[in-house]
Amino acid sequence: MWPIGFAIGVACLLLGLVISWIVAVIGAVLAVLFGLLWARDVTRDVRGDVPEVEPETRTVADEAAPAGPAPDQPLPAYPRSKFLEASLIGLSAALGGVLTLPVLGFMVLPSFTDVEETDVDLGPIDNFPEGQYVIATYLANPEQGEVTRRTVFVRRNEVEGNADPSFTILYSRCVHLGCPVQPNGPIDEDGKKEVNGVELREVLAQSFGCPCHGGLYDSEGNRTAGPPVRSLDRYSFSISPPWRKRVYFDPEYGGTD
């Protein structure tokens, strides 16, 4: 049972790194617990009591040596099967570490890496009609080309009176497995604009959907159906002084706040 429990713990740990830290902690506890029990069970025969050895005695020269051969005493030995079993476990652990550590690095390290990026200029505030989403695509690193292209959904929220303008900016990656989320609504391809290298297209998006695994989000980016466990990530934004009225957003999104 110990290897099965250890495998289940590792699977929960890897799955938890994607969906929930609570699941990851439970998986880590299971993996450590069953791993220790497995190691204890495998080394049970080796950890036996050391046999007591009688002190060496020598016969006196004037005493006659006993006739006949000395009785055979079994010596402590390490069976070949145990050696092969321990070697197989060690190689499997090393192979698992080689395969698992790079995956964990790609999944976990970006969350703890402080990547400095410049704000993205979306142009005048008049480019964004109130209450309507605009698809903004841009190159995060123009030197690397299309591989760095990003897409966000920008909506200028409706406000009353003289309140400051407010924006909702959603990242287009599904929180399930990172597939591109699509707006559910017609896109105005004829009214496409380009501002400072950012392509803007208006869209009547009533909701957002992931075509890969059926994830569905409402117009605020909240999860409504499918495998995603939370809402879409949001970007922070800033607006320049009134005499310019230009909109910027920080390309390093910070959760769902």
In a domain, 95, yes or no: no
Q: State pTM to two decimals.
A: 0.52
Is 243 found in the same domain as 126?
yes
Is 139 found in the same domain as 30?
no
In a domain, 155, yes or no: yes
Is 124 found in the same domain as 18?
no
Is 41 found in the same domain as 135?
no
In a domain, 100, yes or no: no
Boundary-marking domain end, from 113, 139, 158: 113
In a domain, 6, yes or no: yes
Is 241 found in the same domain as 140?
yes
Boundary-marking domain end, from 78, 113, 148: 113
Is 242 found in the same domain as 126?
yes
List the chain pLDDT tens, one digit each, 257 residues.
777 888 888 888 877 777 778 888 888 888 888 888 877 777 776 665 555 556 666 555 555 555 555 556 666 666 777 777 777 787 777 777 777 777 766 666 655 555 556 778 888 888 888 888 989 888 888 787 778 888 889 988 887 766 678 888 888 888 888 888 988 888 888 888 888 888 888 888 888 989 888 889 988 889 888 888 888 888 888 887 764 566 666 666 555 44
In a domain, 197, yes or no: yes
CATH of the domain at 201: 2.102.10.10
Range of the domain at 4: 1-45+106-113
Question: What's the confidence (pLDDT) of residue 217?
Answer: 92
Q: Given the DSSP bridges, would you call strands 193-195 and 198-203 parallel, antiparallel or unpaired?
A: antiparallel
Whole-angstrom distance between the N-terminal and C-terminal Cα of the chain?
Answer: 44
Is 237 found in the same domain as 134?
yes
Is 232 found in the same domain as 127?
yes
Is 27 found in the same domain as 137?
no
In a domain, 216, yes or no: yes
Is 244 found in the same domain as 140?
yes
How far is Cα 16 from Cα 64, in angstroms, rounded to an integer?
76
Boundary-marking domain end, from 113, 141, 162: 113
Query: How many domains, the chain?
Result: 2
Is 39 found in the same domain as 137?
no
Question: What's the confidence (pLDDT) of residue 243?
Answer: 47
Is 156 found in the same domain as 39?
no
